Amino acid sequence: MATSDEESLCKLPLGFAGEIVTTVLYTSLTIVGSLGNIFMILAIHRTPTLRNVCGILIANVAVSDLMVTAVVMPLIVYILIQGFFDKCIIHAPNFAAWVIALFSASSSLLTLTTLSVDRCFAICHPMKHKTIVTVSKAKIAIAMTWIKSLTLPLLETFYTGSALAKFLQVIGLACSYSIIIVSGIFTIRNVRANSRQIRSLHQDQGTSRLAADLSQRNKQVAKTIALVVVVFTLCWIPFAYLTGIEISEDRNDRIYFWFATVGLANSTVNPWIYFCRQPNYRKALKSLLRCKRGASN
At 250 the pLDDT is 47
Other Cβ atoms less than 10 A from the Cβ of 130: the count is 11
| pLDDT confidence of residue 159 | 74
Q: What is the 3-state secondary structure (H, E, C) of 194-225?
A: HHHHHHCCCCCHHHHHHHHHHHHHHHHHHHHH
- Return the ∠ at Cα 47 (arms to 43 and 51), rounded to 5°: 95
Question: Is 88 in a helix, a strand, or coil?
Answer: coil
- The rounded distance, in Å, linking the Cα atoms of 104 and 264 is 10
Residues in the chain: 297
Whether the CB-CB separation of 151 and 168 falls below 8 Å is answered with yes
Q: Does domain 13-247+254-288 have CATH number 1.10.10.10?
A: no
Residue ranges of the domains in the chain? 13-247+254-288
pLDDT of residue 292: 59
Q: Say how far apart CA 51 and CA 59 lie, in whole Å.
A: 9
Note the pLDDT of residue 212. Answer: 57
The tens place of each residue's pLDDT in the chain, 297 residues long, gives 444 444 555 666 666 677 788 889 999 999 999 999 999 999 999 999 888 898 999 999 999 999 999 999 998 888 887 756 556 667 778 888 888 988 998 899 999 999 989 888 888 888 888 888 888 999 999 999 999 898 878 877 777 766 777 777 778 888 888 998 898 888 888 877 766 655 555 445 544 555 556 566 667 777 888 888 889 888 888 887 776 655 444 456 778 888 888 999 999 999 999 999 888 899 999 988 887 555 555
213-216, Cβ contacts within 8 angstroms, sequence gap of 24 or more: 214/126, 215/191
* Contact (CB, 8 A) for 188 and 225: no
Q: How many helices (H) and strands (E) does the chain have?
A: 12, 0
Contact (Cβ atoms closer than 8 angstroms) between residue 224 and residue 245:
no
DSSP string of 106-166? HHHHHHHHHHHHHHHHHHH-HHHHHHH--HHHHHHHHHHHHHHHTHHHHHHHHSTT-HHHH
pLDDT of residue 131: 86
Predicted model pTM: 0.83
- Are 280 and 50 in contact by the 8 Å Cβ rule? The answer is yes
CA–CA separation, 137 and 128 (whole Å): 14
Q: Rounded to whole angstroms, how far apart are CA atoms 40 and 51?
A: 12
